[in-house]
Structure 1
Amino acid sequence: MTHDASPLVLVDRPFAGCAVVALNRPRAMNALSLALRRALVSTFEALRSDADARVVVLTGAGKAFCAGLDLKELGAATDPGAAVVPTADEDPVLAMSHLAAPVIGAINGPAITGGFELALACDLLIASTNASFADTHARVGVLPGWGLSQRLPRLVGPGRAKELSLTGNFIGAEQAEAWGLVNRAVEPEALLPTALKLASDMLSVLPEMLSSYKSLIDAGLRTNLAAGLELERERSRAWAVNLRGTDIEGRRHEIAERGRAQGTPPNSD
Structure 2
Amino acid sequence: MLLVEKPLDGVAVVTLNRPEAMNALSKALRAALAKAITELDADASVKVIVLTGAGERAFTAGLDLKELSTDPLGMGAANAEDPAQNPANAVLACSKPIIGAINGVAITGGFEVALACDVLLCSTNARFADTHARVGITPGWGLSQKLSRCIGPYRAKELSLTGNFMSAQQAYDWGLVNRVVAPDQLMPAALELAAQMADIEADMLVTYKAMIDDGYAATMAEGLKLEHERSVAHNRVVTPEMVAARREKVQARGRSQ
TM-score by length of structure 1 reads 0.92
Residue pair 1:24, 1:61 contacting (<8 A) in 2 also = yes
CA drift of 1:255 comes to 1.3
Structure 2 Cα separation of the partners of residues 40 and 255 of structure 1: 35
Residue pair 2:81, 2:89 contacting (<8 A) in 1 also = no
Q: Tell me the equivalent position of 1:35.
A: 28
Q: Secondary structure at the match of 1:105?
A: strand
173, 195, 207: which one pairs with 2:202? 207
Q: CA RMSD in A?
A: 1.1
Q: Tell me the equivalent position of 2:188.
A: 193
Structure 1 Cα separation of the partners of residues 75 and 68 of structure 2: 9
Structure 2 Cα separation of the partners of residues 13 and 210 of structure 1: 18
Structure 2 Cα separation of the partners of residues 101 and 13 of structure 1: 15
Structure 1 Cα separation of the partners of residues 47 and 10 of structure 2: 5
Q: Tell me the equivalent position of 1:5.
A: none
Whether 1:66 aligns to 2:73 is no
Q: How many residues of Structure 1 are paired with residues of Structure 2 in the alignment?
A: 255
Q: Residue by residue, what CA displacement relative to the aligned partner does 1:80-130 show, whole Å, maximum 9, x if unpaired?
A: 432212251212222222211100000000000000000000001000001
Amino acid at match of 1:69: L
| Range moving further from structure 2, 126-135 or 43-52 | 43-52
Q: Residue by residue, what CA displacement relative to the aligned partner does 1:19-77 show, whole Å, maximum 9, x if unpaired?
A: 10000100000011111111111111211211112100000001210001111112222
Structure 1 Cα separation of the partners of residues 18 and 139 of structure 2: 22
Amino acid at match of 1:92: P
The 5 Å alignment of 1:84-163 reads 84-86=78-80, 88=82, 89-163=84-158
Q: Secondary structure at the match of 2:59?
A: coil
Structure 1 Cα separation of the partners of residues 5 and 29 of structure 2: 17
Residue pair 2:79, 2:139 contacting (<8 A) in 1 also = no
Amino acid at match of 1:176: A
Percent identity over paired residues: 55
Structure 2 Cα separation of the partners of residues 164 and 35 of structure 1: 29
Residue pair 1:31, 1:70 contacting (<8 A) in 2 also = yes
1, 9, 13: which one pairs with 1:16? 9
Q: Tell me the equivalent position of 2:168.
A: 173
| Range moving further from structure 2, 44-53 or 59-68 | 44-53
Residue pair 1:220, 1:229 contacting (<8 A) in 2 also = yes
Structure with the greater relative contact order (CA < 8 A, sep ≥ 6): 1 or 2? 2
Structure 1 Cα separation of the partners of residues 6 and 231 of structure 2: 33
Q: Residue by residue, what CA displacement relative to the aligned partner does 1:213-237 show, whole Å, maximum 9, x if unpaired?
A: 0010011011111000000000011
65, 68, 72: which one pairs with 1:78? 72
